[in-house]
Chain A
Amino acid sequence: MLNWLDERLELKKFKEKFLSKTFPTHPSFLIGEIALFSFITLVITGIFLGLLYEPSTKMVSLFGAMVPAAYASVVRIDLLPMGMLIRRIHHWSAMIMIAAILAHLMRVYFTGAYRKPREINWFIGLGLFGISLFAAFTGYLLPYSNFSVTATSIGYYIAKSVPWIGNWISTLLFAGDFPSTATVPRFFFLHVMFIPLVLASLIGLHMVILVKQKHTEPAGNLKKKESQNGKRLIGIPIWPEQAVISTAFYFFLLFLVILIATYIPLNPIETYGPPASGTPVMRPDWYFLIVYGFLKLIPGDLSFSILGGKITPETIGGVLFPSFLILVFALIPLLDRSKEPQNYIVNPLHRPFMTSFGITGGVFLSMLVVSGYIDVLKIAPRTMLVYVILASAAAWVVSYTLLRFYNRDKDGGKHV
């Protein structure tokens, strides 16, 4: 059988060329795989859900009450054997996928793996992060509960608040005004076809470039290789070692996700009910808390116009601030001006500036997540803004001082 295939497809050549690519053995290199595996789980559970979901807002009868058809179909999915579990696995996998992307991004940042020649993959990775968030946003609307409609409505007005072209962007994205009957079918198509295709293509590109460029590797490997006059990368090959590890790892992750999904519900559709006139007390999923928290901090009187474009608190919190974050992330590899290809991991402790910058950014964004809870913590927005700035400044001073001290100590050792 294998021979038959090999004669036709030249499997042996493929194995030599591709399957012998070496993987580093450090566990931090598995974080990206968590994101990839979550995506696979999302696709599999998404197929199940997509077969049963009805993308329509026309009113139908459900147990005697008139509710939108989309809402009714999700309630029916919940009532199927394992239906609710599949929905929760889907939702939890999305939360985990975005967390894994962020953790993977942090690993790449702190070890300097984004430097030449890997800038392209850094940009693709950022794109994957942004598109995953967009996938999550379009998924919010589909159950068409009161939560869905409120959350999407907020997104609609943020899109509308883009200066100059806001109206055009919002009608393009939401197929007209929101709420209207056209938005659900459009979001359904974006969520189940368009975005997954873009994600899958970009993931493919991300991995092809990875195979071509190979992983970064620990600096210690340099000496090892010199002494052995050895290969480019020390590690284990894709086939069979890494394949076995990855498969086992996937099923372990699947086990964890199913375990979490079994016991911890996420925004059950019945809690919020079908769209109604009141807005419930609600918070978005964790990855939107950064923007959500920032929106809460902006004072309402901060609006002005330039050249006919209106800048409102929504524009600042929902458009300018996220764009600024993306810009900072995109500029990171351009700041590094090394001419030679950098194929070895840098120890984060040896890069005081970049590491403290990363830590400060992390503290800043985490404090914005905390800002999402000022109503629970009973902190005034202005006070919270001061806390955010103080915490970020403290993070910078402490981490930078400590790292400088750590490195000076090392240099001092040499001189003495």
Chain B
Amino acid sequence: MVNEPGKTMNKDNESGITRRKFILSAIIVAILGSFASLLSLLKVLAPAKKGGGYVSTISPGDTLVYASGSNIGATLRASSMNPGDAVLVYPKGKSSNPANLVQLIRLQESSFKAPTDVKLTDKGFVAYSAICTHLGCTVSWVKNEKSPDASYTECFCHNSIFNPSRGDKVEGGPAPIPLAQIGVKVSSDDSLVFTSNFNGKIGPQV
């Protein structure tokens, strides 16, 4: 049916819709609809998460190797470290996952206090996740030459300080939780192996 122009403009039209109103709402719906359909692009631009976050793939029995320095990738020798020393290590062959980065520390055997899990330490060796729980930087070792047991772990990004003889609990700065501990032991050939998984959450707590 073809409407005569005069009739459609008539306000007494039964439906109460004028041509102007109809076109205006059509334009509004078209604009809103096209923008709304574009929103699906946001889904495309944000790819699906693969696992996500820091998930460690360390398994008990993995050998510790250097993660930095000149002998990167070489097996770590227990005798090369004195109390007060610390190094960054990876489990052998699993260096591509940053969640596996561990800080191995040697202190005096007598210096560990709660909440350190002493069962996870061996001959003064203690290991913690090296990924700061604040914003994911790698922590560093601040060595005290005079009294090695007063050395501590610090994240140089925002100066969070962790106490290695007390289970790496947060002694200062913005880190929300301690660095998780992981078990290590010295094997007969002077190398070190992992004996457990992390005992807590690792990576930034966001």
Interface residues of A (CB under 8 A from B): 150, 153-154, 156-158, 160-161, 166-168, 171-172, 175-177, 182, 276-282, 292, 295-301, 303, 310, 312-315, 317, 374-375, 380-381
Contact = CB atoms under 8 A, between A and B. Distances in A.
Contacts of A317: 174
A303 B133 CA distance: 13
A160 B155 CA distance: 20
B45 A279 contact: no
Contacts of A176: 46-47, 49-50
Contacts, number: 111
B138 A279 contact: yes
Given A160-B204, A279-B137, A381-B172, A292 B158 contact: yes
17 contacts: A167-B52, A177-B49, A277-B68, A277-B101, A278-B140, A281-B140, A282-B157, A297-B174, A303-B176, A312-B206, A313-B175, A313-B176, A314-B206, A315-B206, A375-B159, A380-B172, A381-B159
Nearest to A163: B206
B56 to A, nearest CB: 14
Given A296-B173, A375-B156, A150 B137 contact: yes
Contacts of B205: 303, 312
A168 B47 contact: no
Contacts of B175: 300, 313
Given A157-B204, A171-B49, A279 B157 contact: yes
B169 to A, nearest CB: 10
Contacts of A375: 156, 159
Contacts of A281: 140, 156
B118 interface: no
Contact of B173 (A182, A303, A381): A381
A75 B104 CA distance: 33
Interface of B: 42, 45-47, 49-50, 52, 67-68, 88, 90, 98, 101, 130, 134-140, 155-160, 170, 172-177, 204-206
B139 A299 contact: no
Contacts of B139: 279
A317 to B, nearest CB: 7
B158 A168 contact: no
A154 B157 CA distance: 9
Given A278-B68, A280-B156, A175 B45 contact: yes
Contacts of B134: 300, 313-314
A295 B157 CA distance: 10
Contacts of B172: 380-381
A349 B88 CA distance: 58
B36 to A, nearest CB: 17
B52 A177 contact: yes
Most B CB within 10 A of own CB, among A277, A313, A381: A277
A279 B42 contact: no
Given A171-B47, A182-B47, A161 B206 contact: yes
Nearest to B160: A300
A158 B50 CA distance: 20
A153 B174 CA distance: 16
Nearest to B174: A313
B158 A295 contact: yes
B158 A296 contact: yes
Closest CB pairs A-B (n = 5): A172-B46, A161-B206, A279-B138, A171-B46, A279-B137
A374 to B, nearest CB: 7
A401 to B, nearest CB: 35
Task: Give the most central of B46, B90, B158, B175: most A CB within 10 Å.
Answer: B158
